[in-house]
């Protein structure tokens, strides 16, 4: 008998996403489990975690990957969705769920645990309908496999999209003219409580499927904002008017918060109808879990942010921007480049790497910050991310992290940082820092889309001349200062 034969074998899908990352961290603390992750890119999992779990690379559209991931598994978490896909996400989600259920049955998995959204089918948004459909597909064959299907509304936690929206609005706007939908009732829940339910479902002794609606006290979006203001020690006034359309509201959110139009529109769309619990299965089957009151969940989320302990963020997952890191990590095909090479003059590669990894977010971009801010504003105005996403953590960057309007596409300790542009540009762009033993090579790569792409590149060349020359210089200067102190 091998050392792990007596352990419960668990598979987490979506382990690089907002919920999956946190669930993985939580389950790693349990000694009675053996964890396997199905991920699309193993490098999005830290080296420390890779040493403690089994990893299967692939996705839910790949039968072979699913079979390898599910072999010998007792319980499988389904925490994936295709919402960032440009193609029809609902159809992709249907196929993904069917593939997963069938592969689980083939492998003899005992239980699927799925987290979907709260709300009734008839009035649901397109996104929520797809989440409901996913749950229905996973649980369509109860005689062959058991499904425990949790349904949660707005999740409150550091880095969750809804929480970042609420927090930014409350922070920036002392008086808010709010649309009708802020009065819609919803039932938020703290992310740690969600994880507690997901974990407890592993040990639940029960045959047959179960749908479990989870949430703390029901309240309106307006009440959530006022309570958030209280936690932040701010006084805020909300004046409700019946005129702001969902579209206008979404633009409003885009302008004042970290999220792009697509995420704002999904939230507003979701808030047009009630999302409150419809069964009491949470209390019946998991009586030991008492969801934190909303204000406490907010307090905890703020604390995590202040202490730089944000494990996951809504924009971690590639699904968020249909930007699969594996497809974007090689700017080799770029045909336009801006290259700056500066000697290290005795600086260590480690010091330069630290300075390179300090860019963006609250620190800014070392030089010409007003130009970066203007670029961010233009990006926001045309529906991009702008600079508002900032960074997950001030000190650390990891593969897949959002960094203002970039995404970390490759990171190698003391050697390389590659950022893939997620700003709206007529083409594909990267910014690369290659730290060689004696020089820093900073390259902006660009693959233009047709004539507009080329015009764009030549139009911004004078700005590049200013910004990029100085950026490389200032990175080295910062590395020198840090090395000398």
Torsion sign (Cα): 389, 393, 397, 400: negative
> Which CB, 96 or 178, lies closer to ligand NAP?
96
C-beta closer to ligand NAP: residue 82 or 388: 82
- For residue 178, the surrounding DSSP H or E stretch is strand 175-178
Q: Which of 201/352 has CB closer to ligand NAP?
A: 201
Nearest residue to 325 via CA among 413, 395, 430, 424: 430
Please check whether residue 433 is in contact with residue 440, taking contact to mean a CB–CB distance below 8 angstroms. Answer: yes
As measured in angstroms, the least distance from the Cβ of 450 to ligand NAP is: 28
| Shortest spacing between CB 437 and ligand NAP, in angstroms | 33
Residue number with CB closer to ligand NAP (119 or 453): 119
How many Cβ atoms are within 10 Å of 1's Cβ, its own excluded?
A: 5
Please choose, from the candidates 51, 62, 53, the residue with its C-alpha nearest in 3D space to the C-alpha of residue 12.
Answer: 53
Minimum CB separation of residue 78 from ligand NAP in Å reads 7
Comparing every residue's Cβ against ligand NAP, the nearest one is: 17
- Farthest CA pair distance, the chain: 69
Q: Which is nearer to ligand NAP, 61 or 237 (CB)?
A: 61
CB atoms closer than 10 angstroms to residue 451: 9
Distance CA 298, CA 304 (A): 10
> What CA–CA distance (Å, rounded) separates 278 from 117?
12
DSSP 275: B
Asked whether the beta carbons of 255 and 248 are under 8 A apart, the reply is: no
Strands 54-57 and 33-39, by their bridges, are parallel
Tokens 């890119």 sit at which residue? 41
Q: Shortest distance, CB of residue 114 to ligand NAP, whole angstroms?
A: 7
Sign of CA dihedral 248, 254, 257, 260: positive
Closest separation in Å from C-beta 278 to ligand NAP: 15
For ligand NAP, which is the closer residue by CB, 396 or 438? 396
Which residues would be at the binding site for ligand NAP (CB under 6 A)? 13-14, 16-20, 38, 40-41, 44, 59-61, 79-82, 96, 115-117, 131, 152, 155, 160, 162, 316-320
Strands 336-343 and 427-435: unpaired
To ligand NAP, the closest distance from the beta carbon of 24 in angstroms equals 10
Supply φ then ψ for residue 123, to 5 degrees: -100, 10
Name the minimum Å distance from CB 41 to ligand NAP.
6
The distance of closest approach from Cβ of residue 82 to ligand NAP in the complex, given in angstroms and rounded to an integer, is 5
Burial of residue 47 (CB within 10 Å: 0-12, 13-18, 19+) is: exposed
Q: Among residues 385 and 446, whose Cβ is nearest to ligand NAP? A: 385
Residue whose CB is less far from ligand NAP, 59 or 133: 59
Distance CA 116, CA 148 (A): 11
Q: Which is nearer to ligand NAP, 152 or 277 (CB)?
A: 152
In the complex, the smallest distance separating the C-beta of residue 10 from ligand NAP, rounded to whole angstroms, is 16
The nearest distance, CB 191 to ligand NAP, in angstroms, is 8
- Give 7-76 as a 3 state SS string: CEEEEEECCCCHHHHHHHHHHCCCCCEEEEEEECCHHHCCHHHHCCCEEEECCCCCHHHHHHHHCCCCEE
Q: What is the CA 141 to chain-centroid distance, rounded?
A: 31
CB of 382 to ligand NAP, least distance (A): 23
Closest C-alpha to 256, from 330, 189, 342, 164: 164
Q: 117 or 179, CB closer to ligand NAP? A: 117
> For residues 185 and 477, which CB has a smaller minimum distance to ligand NAP in the complex?
185
Q: How far, in Å, CA of 267 to CA of 247, rounded?
A: 11
CB of 45 to ligand NAP, least distance (A): 10
Q: Which is nearer to ligand NAP, 115 or 347 (CB)?
A: 115
Task: Could you list the beta-strand ranges (E) of 333-472.
Answer: 336-343, 402-403, 406-412, 416-421, 427-435, 439-448
């Amino acid at each position: 008998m091998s050392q792990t034969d007596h352990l419960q074998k668990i598979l987490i899908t979506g382990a690089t996403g907002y919920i999956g990352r946190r669930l993985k961290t939580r389950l790693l603390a349990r000694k009675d489990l053996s964890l396997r992750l199905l991920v699309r890119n193993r490098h999005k999992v830290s080296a420390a975690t890779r040493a403690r779990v089994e990893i299967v690379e692939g996705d839910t559209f790949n039968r072979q990957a699913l079979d390898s991931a599910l072999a010998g598994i007792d319980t499988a978490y389904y925490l994936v969705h295709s919402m960032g896909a440009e193609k029809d996400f609902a159809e992709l989600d249907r196929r993904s769920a069917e593939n997963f259920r069938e592969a689980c049955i083939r492998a003899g998995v005992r239980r699927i645990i799925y987290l979907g959204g709260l709300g009734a089918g008839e009035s649901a948004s397109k996104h929520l309908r797809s989440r409901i459909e996913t749950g229905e597909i996973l649980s369509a064959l109860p005689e062959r496999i058991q499904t425990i299907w949790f349904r949660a509304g707005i999740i409150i936690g550091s880095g969750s999209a809804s929480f970042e929206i609420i927090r930014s609005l409350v922070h920036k706007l002392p008086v808010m003219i709010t649309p009708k939908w802020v009065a819609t009732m919803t039932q938020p829940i703290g992310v740690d409580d969600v994880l507690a339910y997901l974990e407890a479902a592993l040990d639940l002794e029960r045959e047959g499927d179960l749908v479990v609606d989870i949430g703390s006290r029901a309240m309106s979006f307006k009440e959530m904002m006022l309570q958030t203001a209280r936690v932040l020690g701010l006084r805020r006034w909300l004046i409700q008017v019946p005129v702001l359309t969902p579209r206008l509201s979404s633009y409003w959110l885009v302008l004042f918060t970290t999220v792009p139009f697509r995420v704002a529109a999904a939230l507003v769309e979701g808030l047009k109808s009630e999302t409150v619990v419809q069964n009491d299965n949470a209390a019946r089957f998991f009586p030991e879990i008492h969801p934190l009151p909303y204000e406490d969940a907010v307090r905890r989320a703020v604390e995590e942010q202040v202490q730089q302990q944000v494990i996951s963020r809504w924009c971690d997952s590639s699904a968020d921007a249909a930007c699969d890191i594996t497809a974007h990590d090689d700017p080799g095909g770029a045909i336009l480049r801006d290259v700056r090479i500066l000697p290290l003059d005795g600086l260590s590669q480690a010091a330069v790497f630290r300075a390179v990894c300090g860019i963006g977010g609250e620190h800014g971009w070392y030089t010409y910050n007003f130009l970066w801010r203007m670029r961010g504003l233009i990006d926001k105005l045309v529906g991009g991310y702008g600079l508002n996403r900032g960074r997950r953590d001030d000190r650390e960057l990891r593969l897949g992290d959002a960094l203002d309007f970039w995404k970390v596409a490759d990171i190698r300790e003391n050697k390389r940082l590659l950022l893939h542009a997620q700003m709206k540009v007529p083409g594909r762009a990267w910014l690369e820092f290659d730290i060689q033993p004696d020089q820093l090579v900073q390259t902006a790569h660009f693959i233009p889309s047709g004539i507009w792409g080329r015009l764009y590149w030549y139009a911004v060349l004078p700005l590049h001349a200013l910004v990029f020359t100085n950026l490389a210089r200032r990175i080295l200067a910062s590395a020198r200062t840090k090395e000398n102190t």
